[in-house]
Structure 1
Amino acid sequence: MGIIKVENIRVYAHHGCLKEETVIGSNYRVDVAVSANLDKSSKTDDLKDTVDYVTLNSIVVDEMGVPCKLLETVAQRIIARFLNECAEVDWASVSVSKLNPPIGGDVEKVTVMLEEKRSY
């Protein structure tokens, strides 16, 4: 087994409970990790034998482009796509951070982290 991480994916998106957040948008950071059996790919040096991190990034960008109120919702959608579209993935973790959230204080970011294991 091994873990593939794609970290600090920067996206401008329109999530939030306040109307202004969905209209104006905000900066987000997404970090993902997936586990998969990397034994074969480490020997064959062939992309078809592993989880393509270009695909992982593409899924994140696609799902972040669909507005929703809660970070939990978008994080769960990303995990569901990883498990549905990447047969090699056994476990996925997704952290979605809203940078400079409008919560009335000097806060760098708020983060929601979800993880899920494939059920067989």
Structure 2
Amino acid sequence: MRISQSYIILREVRFHAFHGVMPQERKVGADFTVSLRVGVDLSLPAESDDVADTLNYATLYEVVKQQMEIPSQLLEHVAGRIGKAVMDTFPQVTGVDVTLTKLNPPMGADCAGASVELHLINDKTKV
């Protein structure tokens, strides 16, 4: 057996944060979700059953949490920072898909949220 692609995934992690263009958004905050799909070779931990051989998803969460605590105007900026921080923290990562959603955005529409999605490639790894 050979693993052709593998990922660590965090789905819809919820945060209350202070991102937005409007002053009120930066003052009272809003609810957000972050989903990540992190490309990383998981063939060794699939065999070894040793946590030291994998990318620890609790540490991955802490990286995302730190970036969500820094206020920004644009979701695009926050998502880009999250992707960069993941690759800086885990150099073995080959790529990151980041989806950042603002729940109940202030745009006068009844919707589940407004999102940005970035697909980032770590050009420091061999893909």
Q: Under a length normalisation based on structure 2, what TM-score does the superposition of the two structures give? A: 0.91
Q: Which residue of 2 aligns with 1:6?
A: 10
Distance, in Å, in 1 between the alignment partners of 2:121 and 2:59 is: 19
CA RMSD of aligned residues (A): 0.8
Q: Secondary structure at the match of 1:69?
A: coil
Runs of 4+ in 1 over 4 A off after TM superposition: none
Q: Secondary structure at the match of 2:31?
A: strand
Distance, in Å, in 2 between the alignment partners of 1:11 and 1:62 is: 11
The alpha carbon displacement at 1:115 in A equals: 1.3
Q: Does 1:80 align with 2:69?
A: no
Q: Does 1:64 align with 2:68?
A: yes
Does the CA contact (< 8 Å) of 1:100 and 1:107 recur in 2? yes
Does the CA contact (< 8 Å) of 1:50 and 1:88 recur in 2? no
Q: What residue identity is the alignment partner of 1:52?
A: N
Distance, in Å, in 2 between the alignment partners of 1:55 and 1:74 is: 18
User: For residues 39-64 of structure 1, what are the alpha-carbon distances to aligned partners after superposition, in whole Å with 9 as ceiling and x for unaligned?
Assistant: 11111111111111111111111101
More strand by share: 1
Unaligned runs of 5+ in 2: none
Unaligned runs of 5+ in 1: none
Q: What residue identity is the alignment partner of 1:23?
A: K
The alpha carbon displacement at 1:100 in A equals: 0.3
Q: Does 1:32 align with 2:36?
A: yes
Count of aligned pairs between the two proteins: 120
Q: Secondary structure at the match of 1:89?
A: coil
